[in-house]
């Protein structure tokens, strides 16, 4: 799988073998490898756990390689023709971006009728998107409704701690008619076991902790981004958070079955191979409804 600058043919970042697996090459080689990786590891959220599930991505892949949907292709079937099929369904077009995209051509997106955008602000309590301000402000300057999202790592710290970090670093909400509610990206663990070592009950409580903290500070409950399969597996298909707007990820012609409690999705991420930037989404409503969501 290959990566492109616009995620047009995005695949999971390449994995590097641990230097400890080199055994016979000796301690000197191990020391050189560790010294080479040290600068990249410094930007990674602290305390990366050892993988207990799928293969562990290289420290070089994190957290720059974590974005909305970056783990889906490794866990769920995707339709390569999803974008063409889903576009027929209509709905307002939107995108989500992270530092992976770097400089985004917001004018081109605006000309392509993109009406909303979400920008990754933070991950866990140790990473801030260095491109956040430029991307967030760039969307605003084109008249695109915009919001911020947090990439959750529930095994690192409490939901409240991550919500506070998110709020303190761009994730707040402003009652200006153009700012969308904050969003929580909760998906497969890119560092190890897909449910982060939490039981379904613990996961539900973690999400409630995050959501309640955001609501207390902003007056808005966050949008929850997830997949139906992950939600069923890692929360026991809990219906307890259905008051939060749902952002469903499914790379197919239709949204398909929804997690328990929700009767419809607010957003649907239907492809990671869209034009200009890879991740494209549809809002389930018209312009007035999208503005109403921003206004709260």
Catalytic residues: 96, 185, 187
- Residues 275 and 273: their CA atoms lie apart, in Å, by 7
Checking DSSP bridges between strand 246-249 and strand 223-226, what pairing results, if any? parallel
Closest CA to 240 of 221, 257, 226, 260: 260
230 C-beta neighbours (distance < 10 Å), count:
22
End-to-end CA distance of the chain: 40
Q: For the range 198-202, what are the long-range contacts, defined as Cβ-Cβ under 8 Å and sequence gap of 24 or more? A: 198/154, 198/155, 198/234, 200/234, 200/235, 200/236, 200/238, 201/236
With a CB cutoff of 8 Å and minimum separation 6, the contacts of 127 are: 43, 44, 45, 63
Checking DSSP bridges between strand 114-123 and strand 92-97, what pairing results, if any? parallel
Structure tokens at 102: 């770097």
Structure tokens at 197: 């070592």
**If phi over 0 gives left and psi between -120 and 50 gives alpha, with beta otherwise, what is residue 227?**
beta
| CA-to-CA separations, 209 to 21, 164, 236, 248, in angstroms, rounded | 39, 11, 17, 21
- Residues 218 and 221: their CA atoms lie apart, in Å, by 8
């Amino acid at each position: 799988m290959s990566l492109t600058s616009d995620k047009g043919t995005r695949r999971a970042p390449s994995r590097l073998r641990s230097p400890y697996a080199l055994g016979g090459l000796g301690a000197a080689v191990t020391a050189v490898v560790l010294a080479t990786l040290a600068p990249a590891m410094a930007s990674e959220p602290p305390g990366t756990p050892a993988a207990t599930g799928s293969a562990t991505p290289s420290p070089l892949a994190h957290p720059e390689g974590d974005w909305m949907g970056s783990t889906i292709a490794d866990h769920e079937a995707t339709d390569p023709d999803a974008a063409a099929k889903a576009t027929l369904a209509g709905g307002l077009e939107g995108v989500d971006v992270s530092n992976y995209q770097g400089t985004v051509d917001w004018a081109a997106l605006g000309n392509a009728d993109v009406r909303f955008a979400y920008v990754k602000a933070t991950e866990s309590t140790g990473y801030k998107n260095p491109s956040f301000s430029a991307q967030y402000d760039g969307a605003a300057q084109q008249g695109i409704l915009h919001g911020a999202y947090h990439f959750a790592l529930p095994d690192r710290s409490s939901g409240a701690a991550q919500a506070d970090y998110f709020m303190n670093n761009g994730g707040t909400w402003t009652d200006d008619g153009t700012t969308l509610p904050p969003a929580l990206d909760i998906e497969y663990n890119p560092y190890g076991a897909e449910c982060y070592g939490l039981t379904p009950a613990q996961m539900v409580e973690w999400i409630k902790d995050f959501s309640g903290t955001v609501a207390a500070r902003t007056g808005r409950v966050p949008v929850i981004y997830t997949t139906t399969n992950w939600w069923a597996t890692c929360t026991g298909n809990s219906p307890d958070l259905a008051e939060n707007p749902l952002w469903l990820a499914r790379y197919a012609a239709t949204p398909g079955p929804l997690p328990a409690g929700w009767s419809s999705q607010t957003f649907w991420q239907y492809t990671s191979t869209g034009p200009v930037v890879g991740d494209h989404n549809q809002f389930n409503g018209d312009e007035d409804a999208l503005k109403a969501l921003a206004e709260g």
